[in-house]
Amino acid sequence: MIMTKTNRGGKRANAGRKAGSNVYGEPTVAIRVPQSKQPVIRDFLQSLQRKRASASLGNVSGWMEMDAANGDMMLPFYTSKVAAGFPSPADDHVEQRLSPNSYLVDNDDSTFFVCVKGDSMIDAGIFEDDMLVVDRERVAQVGDIILAMLDGEFTVKILGHSGSNVRLIPANKHYPVIEVGEEQLFEVWGVITGSMRKFV
């Protein structure tokens, strides 16, 4: 009888779940615990996940409407490239003038601003105290950053889905993905189309 070597029964390359793809967002290890304590530890971990998820909700601290009266303010837009410093204010360096409102806002009547608190979206370039531009008229697509209301709390997250279920995805590995259940109150309030930040 001739025996041939096969891959059956052995570990396959890249097989199994990707490291860090679990609900905790990081690798896990096996530990031995008393059998009677297993439910207690499981309850603790589930409570920790719920606490992390709730911490990433309510991450909107302020709300402002568009001020149409100041919509025509035009500022110099310098297109010349400089290594450092400020470009010359001479008129020949100003190729056009820019309205901050027209640059940031597509739909005046459906746009408002919200101020961010927390750090659940830092990997998307959104930091605490940033002012986000929200357009209620834009239809949210998977992958958009949205302002959503979940069970009475506003939150800014990336819109995702799993099968027929909505997912709210943070841009910070320390926060869990929020799976929106059928029994929860969920509404998309708008799509984030831009942001503003003050340094001083």
Tell me which of 54, 88, 110, 120 is the catalytic residue. Answer: 120
Tell me which of 37, 47, 88, 157 is the catalytic residue. Answer: 157
Helix residue ranges, H only, 2-79: 38-55
CA nearest to 104, candidates 195, 26, 189, 7: 195
For the chain, list the domains and their CATH numbers.
53-66+105-196 (2.10.109.10)
60 vs 4, 116, 129, 143, 186, CA distance in Å? Answer: 63, 5, 9, 20, 16
Helix, strand counts (H, E) of the chain: 2, 10
37 tagged catalytic: no
120 tagged catalytic: yes
* Dihedral sign for Cα atoms in the order 134, 181, 48, 174: negative
- Token pair 């410093």 is found at 85
Residue 32 has pLDDT above 70, yes or no: yes
Higher pLDDT residue, 91 or 37? 37
pTM: 0.62
Give φ, ψ of 48 to 5 degrees.
-65, -40
In the predicted model, what is the mean pLDDT of residues 2-22?
55
User: Percent of the chain having pLDDT more than 70?
Assistant: 62
pLDDT digits (tens, 9 = 90+) for 79-138: 555 555 555 555 555 567 777 777 788 887 888 889 998 899 999 999 999 999 999 999
pLDDT digits (tens, 9 = 90+) for 134-179: 999 999 999 999 999 998 889 999 999 988 889 999 999 888 899 9
